[in-house]
Chains A and B, each alone.
Chain A
Amino acid sequence: MPVITYREALNQALAEEMVRDPNVLLMGEEVGQFNGAYKVSEGLLARFGPQRVIDTPISEAGFVGIGVGASMLGVRPVIELMFWSFYSVAFDQVLNNAANIRYMSGGQINCPIVIRGPANGGTNVGATHSLTPENVCANHPGVKVVVPATAYDAKGLLKAAIRDNDPVMFMENTILYNDKGEVPEGDYIVPLGVADVKRAGTDLTIVAHGRSVIHALQVAAILEKEHKVSAEVVDLRSIRPLDEATILASVRKTHRVLLVDENKPFCGVGAQIAYLIQDQAFDDLDAPIKRVSAIDAPQIYSPPLEKEQMPNPQRILHAALGVLA
């Protein structure tokens, strides 16, 4: 099976879906002539032309709203945000319009849009460029939220997201763009709402999404080698819809849980998972649910401090040992 990068996997998904369905188009800042700020859309303009790969001015509210409006007629836009942080200037269009139009019309309309782009810290770009708003988006009935951690999941989930008739918020990670993995050539999808046990184990459940999955796997290897602990890593992949069954099955097996994500603590994704587990698997727990989040402050610039602010293998390991104690 070919080994390609997460970035290339996204590129393949976009290209394949654009071939499959002429209604699919890509729009965003620098997606065309520049070949993408992070090169995710490299080559697509040359291949599909300016009608379908559209460079936008810096007008997120304008072009996200245009995408939503066009989707009401059956166009299927993939709207790139250069940073998911920029969603804030388009909040009304993303989380008022796209999320609510179906409901407010009593089910007469649907908005089959995908909004995608990197949602991550760790690149020293400071507080206004480092948002991870999967928790904020997931708080809005009407949207779906997806956060792939691997190249395989990125391609399969993006294809599923593009085919989904509801608005999908698709969150990538600039640091993961270069990660390599086995990705089948050709068509396959990863359905939304299905978590993936990336590593099976018996002593501890680590639930994570996005880059935290990669860190969790590193920690699981250390736990095995140096502490004789068998940790199970559950990659959510999809925040909304949420695969509750896989999470709960893991907890019932291991009886100890550590939640890891890059959100700030208050109302991060972990808060919702913790509620679920204590509500549905209270008697299966041998210890309180613990969580590793970002340290609760706007994202700091100073590079070594940002590393410490974010969940990292050292902090995750320390927390894991705490749950196991």
Chain B
Amino acid sequence: MSKESTAETGHDIAVSSVEGQSALAPINARLTAEQRIDLYRTLVRIRRFEERSLRAYQAGKIGGFLHLYIGQEAIAVGCCSVMQKDDQVITAYRDHGHAIAVGMDLNPLMAELYGRVTGCSKGKGGSMHFFDPSRNFWGGHGIVGGQIPLGAGLAFGLKYLGRKGACLAFMGDGAVNQGAVHETFNLAALWNLPVVFVIENNRYSMGTSQERSSAGLSLAQRAAGYHMAWDTCNGHDLYAVREKTAQYLALARDEFKPSVLEIDTYRYRGHSVADPDKTYRKKAEIEEYQKTRDPIQLFQNLLRGAGVLDDALIAQIDAEARTEADRAAEFAEASPYPTVADITKDIYWEEDHPEKKVSQGRIVFD
């Protein structure tokens, strides 16, 4: 499963499949037309949700950080679409795409951005902290790399409990330099944990390029030091993402072998909306990606070519996605905020379940 590489830098070697070739892999070949349309629809829905939330942020409706997933949609959609029933997913703060890809409804997502009590975290988390355990989605985390031990823990838990599943633990290219990530790589390999560490390499860790932050060759190749399988993948190709992810999920699920999968991608917007995006890359580079490697456009091209999509359906899907995002913003705008009394709820399980409480004394102070 290991890949050899002679390239100087990570992004030069990332293209490991000709765009479209992965359509032939069984995991993709057996998709029905309806399923392909659905994948395409999810890509578009993420894109329109992100654009709508950006406008809401610029209108002052959203506070704090907003880390947009625009340009990276094929990763969340591709990876989550090949998850099996007991597979789990966890990611960092660029989590809107993953939340939508696992099937979360847009209304509570937008309401969460607006800080309303109808938000998916009751307004207590915000953009970086979308969670849905019922969909095996464990967040949404703010500290770079901090979610990676948690992801290995989900894998550990699955194995301990005898559940046949694996965990997709996502991180960005910057996270691979965090100590906690190295500790986790070692533990996963040592303990044979069913985890796939997915590096969404969009080439820039906030304003610092991979060349300026990471010594060595490809990021995933660091896995070799821990005797772990690793691979690279073209994140602009939805079918390629599906093919590789399914392969490494099976390796984890069936053989308890962890792996590191580095997926090449690109974000059109800054690190967050507060990032002026002027100091570390050129506009021409962004435009080149948008024109020639947009994952949604590329998948659309494939489906058009296969006769699955036509102009009318493309337009309809787009219109519906825009409407859905607008409705979510309306829902958010009309929703109430949490109350001051709400601030001190959802801290402790015992306090939230008073009928089962065993401990006594004062637990929240003033």
Contacts and interface: CB of A to CB of B under 8 A. Distances in A.
Interface in B145-161: 146, 148-158, 160-161
The residue among B186, B350, B360, B364 with the most chain A CB atoms within 10 A of its own CB is B360
Contact of B158 (A73, A109, A112, A166): A73
A101 interface: yes
Contact of A103 (B88, B124, B161, B359): B124
Interface of B: 88, 90, 119-125, 129, 131-133, 138-141, 143, 146, 148-158, 160-161, 163, 179-180, 183-184, 186-187, 190, 344-350, 352-353, 358-365
A271 interface: no
Closest 7 interchain pairs by CB?
Answer: A69-B153, A65-B149, A193-B361, A62-B183, A107-B346, A70-B157, A106-B122
15 contacts: A62-B187, A65-B180, A65-B184, A69-B150, A72-B153, A103-B347, A104-B124, A106-B119, A106-B120, A107-B122, A108-B133, A163-B358, A240-B363, A241-B360, A241-B361
Contact of B157 (A73, A141, A243): A73
Given A105-B129, A105-B139, A69 B152 contact: yes
Contacts of B345: 107
A155 interface: no
B349 A166 contact: yes
Contacts of A97: 141, 146, 150
A41 to B, nearest CB: 18
Contacts of B157: 69-75
A71 B163 CA distance: 14
Contact of A61 (B90, B149, B151): B149
Interface string A251-274: 000000000000000000000100
Contact of A102 (B151, B348, B363): B348
Contacts of A69: 90, 138, 149-157
Nearest to A25: B160
Interface in A29-78: 51, 56-57, 59, 61-75
A165 B350 contact: yes
Interface of A: 23, 25, 51, 56-57, 59, 61-75, 92-93, 96-97, 101-110, 112, 141-142, 144, 160, 163-166, 189, 191-195, 238, 240-245, 272
A239 B122 CA distance: 29
A106 B153 contact: no
A104 B156 contact: no
Contacts of A102: 346-349
Nearest to A27: B156
B149 A62 contact: yes
B230 to A, nearest CB: 19
A66 B353 CA distance: 26
A72 B153 CA distance: 9
A58 to B, nearest CB: 9
Given A104-B121, A107-B352, A108-B133, A244 B362 contact: yes
A192 B360 contact: yes
A66 B155 CA distance: 9
A273 B277 CA distance: 50
Nearest to B134: A108
Given A72-B138, A165-B349, A243 B160 contact: no
A73 B90 CA distance: 13
Contacts of B348: 102, 142, 144, 166
A68 B150 contact: yes
B186 A62 contact: yes
Contacts of A105: 121, 125, 129, 131, 133, 139-140, 346
Given A92-B180, A164-B359, A240-B363, A141 B347 contact: yes
Contacts of A110: 349
A63 B186 CA distance: 11
